[in-house]
Amino acid sequence: MIIRTAAASDAEGLLAIYAPYVRRTAITFEYDVPSAREFRHRIESTLEFYPYLVAEEEGRLVGYAYAGRFQPREAYDWAVETSIYLDVDVRGRGIGTRLHAELERACRSMNVQNMDACIAAPREADDPHLTDASIGFHEHLGYRMVGRFEQVGYKFGRWYDMVWMERLIGDHATPASPVVAYRG
């Protein structure tokens, strides 16, 4: 398996990974699967400043991870919001952990200090569209819970909570070194 920077030409393959999450889960609160053109635009927009990585196994895309702006005001520049998606057939093989490690390396190279994850959380243990596996995955990576918004998302006729988890990856020195664009 290799992990590399995504390219616009990866859009259809990555969209094939993402689409089942939109259609069948509350992991994403997106209701409609975006077009390949829109997905390509998302990749290109992210890569203007932030890392967007793909995991490829024998020529097949099996996962992706990216970081993006946490909040638009400059004081937040040292924090990023992260996302990771895996092909449903490869979960549990450590690919997400490897993708995250590379994403963290990329963020450190930019002088990012905090990695934040916004994660949908089920309100019921037997929810057919969402488990707390993503929360457990992030805990395993060293993230800590920093907040919970109750009943903030509505999908499949159910209300979902949203949790924020955070991993501090920098030394938070002052003065802070400027955040620089990711250059793969």
pLDDT greater than 90 at residue 90: no
The tens digit of pLDDT for each residue in 49-58 reads: 999 999 999 9
SS3 (DSSP) at 30: coil
CATH numbers and ranges of domains, the chain: 2-168 (3.40.630.30)
91 — pLDDT class (breaks 50, 70, 90):
confident
**Up-side HSE of residue 165: CA atoms within 13 Å toward CB?**
19
Contacts of residue 174, defined as CB under 8 A and 6 or more positions apart, other chains included, come to: none
Contacts of residue 179, defined as CB under 8 A and 6 or more positions apart, other chains included, come to: 77, 78, 110, 111, 112
pLDDT greater than 90 at residue 36: yes
Q: Which residues of 143-173 are buried (b: 16+ CB within 10 A; e: fewer)?
A: beeeeeeeeebebeebebbbbbbbbebbeee
The tens digit of pLDDT for each residue in 40-77 reads: 999 999 999 999 999 999 999 999 999 999 999 999 99
Q: pTM for this one?
A: 0.96
